[in-house]
Amino acid sequence: MALASAGVALRGTGVGANMPYDAKKYGPDVELNEPAFIHSSVQIYGKVRVGREASIWPNTVIRAENYEIVIGEMTNIQDLVMVHVGDRTGTYVGANCSITHHVTIHGCRIGDNCLIGINATLMDNSEIGDNCIVGAGAVLTAGTIIPDNSIIVGAPAKAIKTRNNYVANRWNAWLYQINAHAYREGNHRGWDGADFVRQAKDKMKELMAEFDALKKAGAAIAREE
Ligand SMILES: CC(C)(COP(=O)(O)OP(=O)(O)OC[C@H]1O[C@@H](n2cnc3c(N)ncnc32)[C@H](O)[C@@H]1OP(=O)(O)O)[C@@H](O)C(=O)NCCC(=O)NCCS
């Protein structure tokens, strides 16, 4: 089933029954570095780079008429997201992020391992550190700077907690990687069944062990504060 191939085995850049996207439909400035899946309804224009194993879900629009947009490895851009460049800046999304349903990101920078909650808006020059969660419906006004490991909510958004969300956010990104591989195989039930539950538990354990090891090694990404 799809899960068995959710690692790196399945790759493809062409068009066909099981292919993850139609590379030919995008313009010459769109660079696709083996993303896992791009839904056929996605629109991408201008200078846009999409990282390895990333996924882009139905009805997302990504436009970069100047500057650039970069989507990191393993990151998922969920349904109905709008990604645009800002007035003076590009838009950069780190690795292992989830940009969830109906988010708007505009000329901002998002670190690694972040989750941007449903319907949030990030305006020009806003910056979010690593391992953060932006609450559903939050609005980051222009120039808002959010440090690593923050949870922010509201409009205008403010930090309410400091917590390192490395494990939860990477787990969510993994779920979408699994789903991306399922979809490219025409399987829309990738999160169902005993196999999936077992793999999800194993993945969570693996991530917790990885995080502990990073903490022990004193890695900056695993700081708790
Ligand atoms: C922000 C968030 C991470 C907080 O979760 P948490 O750490 O468990 O915190 P709590 O639920 O204890 O909430 C803490 C406070 O923030 C408030 N709060 C929580 N989410 C909020 C939101 N989105 N907007 C405004 N306030 C919010 C709570 O009401 C609570 O307020 P109180 O202290 O006055 O009672 C979570 O509510 C959230 O929005 N997650 C994103 C969900 C999402 O969009 N997922 C994507 C699915 S595809």
Q: Is residue 10 part of a domain?
A: no
Alpha-carbon span 90 to 109, nearest angstrom: 8
> Which residue's alpha carbon is nearest to atom 2 within ligand 1?
135
CA distances from 140 to 43, 71, 99 (A): 25, 19, 14
Q: Is residue 5 part of a domain?
A: no
Q: Is residue 169 part of a domain?
A: yes
Kindly report the backbone phi and psi dihedral angles of residue 63, in degrees, each rounded to the nearest multiple of 5, phi listed first.
Answer: -135, 130
Pocket test for ligand 1, best of 101, 146, 160, 176 (most atoms within 8 A of CB): 160
What's the pLDDT tens digit per position in 148-197? 999 999 999 999 999 999 999 999 999 999 999 999 999 999 999 999 99
Q: Is residue 224 part of a domain?
A: no
Provide the residue range defining the domain that includes 22. Answer: 17-217
Q: What is the pLDDT of residue 19?
A: 64
User: Closest ligand 1 atom, CA of 134?
Assistant: 1
Q: What is the mean pLDDT of residues 7-29?
A: 62
Q: How many domains does the chain fold into?
A: 1
Q: Which CATH number fits the domain that encloses residue 31?
A: 2.160.10.10
Q: How far is the CA of 92 from the centre of ligand 1 (A)?
A: 24
Alpha-carbon span 96 to 36, nearest angstrom: 13
Q: Is residue 12 part of a domain?
A: no
Could you give the 3-state DSSP secondary structure of residue 166?
helix
Alpha-carbon span 45 to 71, nearest angstrom: 14
Angle between helices 194-216 and 166-184 (to 10 degrees): 140
